[in-house]
Homo-oligomer: A and B are copies of this chain.
Amino acid sequence: MGFAYFAGANFLLTLVAAILCVCFAPTAAGPGIPEIKAYLNGVDTPNMFGATTLIVKIIGSVGAVSAGLDLGKEGPLVHIGSCIASLLGQGGPDNYRLKWRWLRYFNNDRDRRDLITCGASSGVCAAFRAPVGGVLFALEEVATWWRSALLWRTFFGTAVVVVVLRAFMEICKSGNCGLFGKGGLIMFDVSNVSVRYHAVDIIPVALIGVLGGVLGSLYNHLLHKILRVYNLINEKGKFHKLLLALSVSIFTSVCLYGLPFLARCRPCDPSLPDSSCPTTGRAGNFKQFNCPKDYYNDLATLLLTTNDDAVRNIFSISTPREYEILSLIIFFALYCILGLVTFGIAVPSGLFLPIILMGSAYGRMLGTAMGPYTKIDQGLYAVLGAASLMAGSMRMTVSLCVIFLELTNNLLLLPITMLVLLIAKTVGDCFNPSIYEIILELKGLPFLDAHPEPWMRNITVGELADVKPAVVTLSGIEKVGRIVEILKNTTHNGFPVVDEGVVPPMGSRIGATELHGLVLRAHLVLVLKKKWFLQERRRTEEWEVREKFTSIDLAERGVKIEEVMVTEDEMEMYVDLHPLTNTTPYTVVESISVAKAMVLFRQVGLRHMLILPKYQAAGVFPVVGILTRQDLRAHNILSAFPHLEKSSGGKKGH
């Protein structure tokens, strides 16, 4: 009967979360962090930061977490933070935007990027109550370009989060907001234990680090395989997606309810105060479950509770005999399985908490096994285990260190936490890339890596341009017909503008060609839509330009060429592209190596890069080609130049 209620409630909650995700906003499923990372790298996933996604993510995350599934609210909170930032920046959802004057200041890509970074760091801060950790998370994991101004802007964002959080806690202290006011600002407080460790303790600490690295990369590897299988299932349709989510929910319920029966009842430690063991009907350690008075079931303490409380219980200090090693093994095995099968289902899910649970389990196991040989508390072993698995899987160091510092409020743990994180990251890096990179690759997002591959030094951008279709250029004053034709027949987003037969200001050398700049597809479509046409082939005067365009017109996006109607007569008219052209595009010479071009592309944050000829003579065309993000992706270059991979010595790894 108890099981029926338990499983039924979980089933319903999962159903709600999954239906919302499947039907209304598929982008709300999963953590959202990889997509945010890709967005900040310059790759936009459609509908990622919309109002629907936000609402589905909030409700879905509440549902999925309450359903007792093995997933966290951290990733979703990061995504929620970014959604809110994006919506605030553009003045509301797409259809009902506020058109306030000051909102225009945010109407550029850089500010949008900065806002979303601030949102992500605030999300981490809200999830872990770790303001500095949030800033560092955004810096280390999420952001591609970092400006010093961003450091204190994200910091300001997280400061506001903390102040608001504290204010709510103050208001809710009287108990009229349910469980909300409970607990302090620090989630898993272990500050009241005095940490003592000696040189000998380095050995188990290093062991945890190595274990974390190995298990973390193993987890990444297995999750990769399972996500591939899930992708195949999910592709079959909405019903299959739902079915997958619901079967995971039922499996979770069965395990959580059934497994505690395997553990035997253990007597409470008589030295503890009466009220603390066993606990029934409230959060806390030592769950009674089916045991007699003054006895408790240690596995139920870990399983039949919220995930947050499970972490608190397994981190608990000065309770060296609370958990039997067998219970911990069952707990670890169960959460390994759940952590692998739960992540890919169609509900909002974070990776942090499952990994913390897994890691703390083997950390505590090791602590129990070390028993008399160590002075470090078992609770701290659990903390170190969690940290090691996080570093082994996510490959972050400084941000994790600060998050753990802020989670546990024990500064004396810092040196050994640092050691564990560094060892785990180093060991993990030997095997495979971080979990977020694996997900990015699985989703097929063209993420641009920070470092060019070594073989990219052996190929020039000129060679790259040679194997591409010839570049499509426009004249400064172009026929409407040609623009329409080019826009319809190509998918390029930028076109070089070249003036032929101009006279350079230095005189004498007539018949020169001039590279005027780069014009964007969006602006060309806009010209056609607004019909800024000229009867004859002439340049527009400055006053005409001022009359015709405003910067707000040009910021408009999303008009498609198919929606634009141009009559036969208009086809014969002209457009002066000069005022619409970006006259100062970044350029490279054709002899530059791809590696160097990629550094420029990524460091400055470009979308298009023009290639100039290294020769100077009459008849040489002033543009050799144009490079985009796709051209610089290692995978695409290698498919055109297969011999390069061989020269890199087969060291491609993944």
Residues of A within 8 A of B (CB): 131-132, 135-136, 139-140, 146-148, 151-152, 155-156, 158-159, 162-163, 166-167, 170, 184-186, 191, 198-199, 397-398, 401-402, 405-406, 409, 411-412, 414-415, 418-419, 422, 425, 450, 460, 502, 504, 508-509, 511-517, 583-589, 591-593, 596, 599-600, 603-604, 612-622
- The answer on a CB contact under 8 Å between A450 and B132 is no
CB<8 Å pairs between A and B, sample of 22: A132-B132, A132-B401, A132-B402, A140-B148, A140-B151, A147-B450, A151-B397, A155-B401, A155-B418, A159-B415, A159-B422, A406-B414, A460-B584, A504-B615, A508-B619, A509-B615, A513-B616, A583-B591, A584-B596, A585-B592, A587-B592, A603-B603
- The answer on a CB contact under 8 Å between A415 and B162 is yes
Hey, which chain B residues are within 8 Å of A405, CB to CB? Answer: 132, 411
A289 to chain B, nearest CB (A): 35
A536 to B596, CA, bound (A): 35
9 further A-B contacts with Cβ under 8 Å, apart from A152-B425, A513-B617, A617-B617, are A152-B398, A156-B422, A162-B414, A170-B199, A405-B411, A406-B414, A516-B614, A584-B596, A612-B612
Hey, which chain B residues are within 8 Å of A515, CB to CB? Answer: 589, 614, 616
A407 to chain B, nearest CB (A): 10
Hey, which chain B residues are within 8 Å of A155, CB to CB? Answer: 397-398, 401, 418, 422
A170 to B197, CA, bound (A): 10
Hey, which chain B residues are within 8 Å of A397, CB to CB? Answer: 151-152, 155
Nearest residue in B to A163 (C-beta to C-beta)? B415
- The answer on a CB contact under 8 Å between A159 and B418 is yes
Hey, which chain B residues are within 8 Å of A591, CB to CB? Answer: 517, 583-584
- The answer on a CB contact under 8 Å between B509 and A617 is yes
A278 to chain B, nearest CB (A): 30
A148 to chain B, nearest CB (A): 6
Hey, which chain B residues are within 8 Å of A583, CB to CB? Answer: 591
Hey, which chain B residues are within 8 Å of A614, CB to CB? Answer: 514-516, 622
Hey, which chain B residues are within 8 Å of A616, CB to CB? Answer: 512-515, 613, 616-617, 620-622
Cβ 8 A contact of A615, one of B140, B512, B517: B512
A599 to B147, CA, bound (A): 12
Hey, which chain B residues are within 8 Å of A198, CB to CB? Answer: 170
Q: Which of A170, A425, A504, A516 has most chain B Cβ within 10 Å?
A: A504
Hey, which chain B residues are within 8 Å of A512, CB to CB? Answer: 615-617, 620
If the complex has contacts A155-B401, A191-B191, A584-B596, are A589 and B612 also in contact, measured as CB distance less than 8 A? yes
A631 to chain B, nearest CB (A): 17
- The answer on a CB contact under 8 Å between B584 and A587 is no
Cβ 8 A contact of A511, one of B151, B409, B460, B617: B617
Cβ 8 A contact of A612, one of B401, B508, B587: B587
- The answer on a CB contact under 8 Å between A411 and B140 is no
- The answer on a CB contact under 8 Å between A166 and B415 is yes
A596 to B502, CA, bound (A): 26
Hey, which chain B residues are within 8 Å of A612, CB to CB? Answer: 587, 589, 612
Nearest residue in B to A619 (C-beta to C-beta)? B509
If the complex has contacts A162-B418, A450-B148, A592-B584, are A135 and B398 also in contact, measured as CB distance less than 8 A? yes
Cβ 8 A contact of A414, one of B131, B585, B618, B621: B131
A427 to chain B, nearest CB (A): 13
- The answer on a CB contact under 8 Å between A618 and B509 is yes
If the complex has contacts A140-B148, A600-B604, A613-B616, are A406 and B398 also in contact, measured as CB distance less than 8 A? no
- The answer on a CB contact under 8 Å between A406 and B415 is no
A135 to B151, CA, bound (A): 13
Hey, which chain B residues are within 8 Å of A460, CB to CB? Answer: 584
Hey, which chain B residues are within 8 Å of A136, CB to CB? Answer: 136
A514 to B425, CA, bound (A): 48
- The answer on a CB contact under 8 Å between B584 and A615 is no
A16 to chain B, nearest CB (A): 35
Nearest residue in B to A586 (C-beta to C-beta)? B600
| 7 smallest beta-carbon distances between A and B, as pairs | A512-B617, A618-B618, A616-B622, A159-B418, A603-B603, A584-B592, A152-B397
